[in-house]
Amino acid sequence: MPKPHRPYRVIISGGGTGGHIYPAVAIANQLKAISPESEILFVGAKGRMEMTRVPEAGYKIVGLWISGLQRRLTLDNLSFPFKVLSSVRAAHKIIHDFKPDAVVGVGGYASGPLLYAATARKIPALIQEQNSYAGITNKLLAKRVGKVCVAYPNMQRFFPAEKLVLTGNPVRSDIMGVQQKRQEALQHFGLIGTKKTILVIGGSLGARTINHSIAAGLEQILQAGYQLIWQTGKAYIPEAKALEEKHNAQDVRAFDFIKRMDLAYAAADVVISRAGALSISELCLAGKPAVLVPSPNVAEDHQTKNAMALVAQHAALLVRDVEAVEKLVPTALQLAQDEQEQKRLQANILKMGRPNAAEDIVNELIKLIK
């Protein structure tokens, strides 16, 4: 029988996209699972999606006045130094009031000021880096923290080797065991069990190229007799709904955001997705045959590197962003028709999953506290 843990006080900071938020929530949930009396406070950036997603997951969040540097000269850039100073000051007050045993940074704007303030006060700190190419905030903070938990090997290019722990990316626990939820999923989305389903996800904020490619090939998908679950992001949902109406499509379910991603994966026979670190970690655990379309608009093209790690193991297919309008729908339809290929991709992608990532990260955090 494992010894029960004492309650811990932990601040988890970061956000901006689902790729930062959901690993953060998974870490919080794991800490609560082993120490239910623990107090967890999230710190995010005002106006970013964590300010709604974290409370929906049942945790309290405080917002800092912080944003990223734009690549061109903007008013936001001129105010950036003031935002940093204001956020560091606010972070010191949060730490003084909450008195954490440790802090966790998951990347994103808010983790910089918070971890800077915490490490200045000698509070144990840990970073979780989701991508194969490290974010600038995490690279700057690495010298100040005790441990850096990573999802990919060979990350000593970015971080001190002695601080690295290969844990994988934590994902929501409901993604595990999606194989048992197919009936519930079909009911939830109002889909027909005898038809195959293609799931399209462009990340939590949507993906323009993927949306345009699906719009261009929607008639092909429907004529081939497939159903579609389509997460478009906020910007594209009016166009997707108009297309639904135009085709009088009983087989299209378009959403700006899908809260029950476990059921979306459970319903899917084939997934079309960006190659963000979180999406890939979820696909590995859900064990779904996937066509990946890496976003070209990320630092050092890290989504292509994430995707190639799977393609090299014959665990996913890849369509480049510039070729997506022409090739994405035909590639997905070909995969949906080829059950042998689906089985092969499924078997290989499942081998790449790391189901204990949240547990391993929390164990490292507790070692730092002790």
Q: Output the known binding site for UDP-N-acetyl-alpha-D-glucosamine.
A: 17-19, 131, 172, 204, 258, 303
SS3 227: strand
Pairing of strands 227-231, 147-150: unpaired
| Residue 333 confidence (pLDDT) | 98
DSSP sequence for 276-287: -HHHHHHHHHHT
Q: Quick check: 26 pLDDT over 90? A: yes
Both structure tokens of 127? 């970073």
Q: Quick check: 218 pLDDT over 90? A: yes
Q: 315-355: per-residue pLDDT in tens? A: 999 999 999 999 999 999 999 999 999 999 999 999 988 99
Q: What is the rounded CA–CA span in Å between residue 103 and residue 280?
A: 26
Q: Quick check: 207 pLDDT over 90? A: no
Position 291, amino acid: V
Write out the residue limits of the CATH 3.40.50.2000 domain(s) in the chain: 9-169+355-369, 174-351
| Residue 205 confidence (pLDDT) | 60
In the predicted model, what is the mean pLDDT of residues 282-296? 95
The architecture in CATH of the region 174-351 reads 3-Layer(aba) Sandwich (3.40)
Closest CA to 37 of 63, 75, 78, 8: 8
| HSE-up of residue 289 (Cα within 13 Å, Cβ side) | 21
Q: Quick check: 364 pLDDT over 90? A: yes
Closest CA to 17 of 109, 92, 90: 109
Q: What is the rounded CA–CA span in Å between residue 267 and residue 260?
A: 11
Q: 93-151: per-residue pLDDT in tens? A: 999 999 999 999 998 788 889 999 999 999 999 999 988 888 888 898 999 999 999 99
Burial class (CB in 10 A: 0-12, 13-18, 19+), 98: middle
Q: H helices within 224-273, ranges in order?
A: 237-246, 261-267
Higher pLDDT, 271 or 90: 271
Q: Quick check: 14 pLDDT over 50? A: yes
Among the residue ranges 50-59, 141-150, 242-251, the one predicted with the least confidence is 242-251
Q: Using N-to-C axis directions, what is the helix angle for 339-351 and 277-286, rounded to 10°? A: 110
Instruction: Tell me the pLDDT of the chain averaged across its residues.
Output: 89
Q: Output the known binding site.
A: 17-19, 131, 172, 204, 258, 303
DSSP sequence for 325-350: HHHHHHHHHHHHH-HHHHHHHHHHHH
pTM value? 0.81
| Residue 230 confidence (pLDDT) | 95
Name the CATH topology of 9-169+355-369: Rossmann fold (3.40.50)
Q: 150-192: per-residue pLDDT in tens? A: 998 889 999 999 999 999 999 888 888 898 999 999 999 999 9
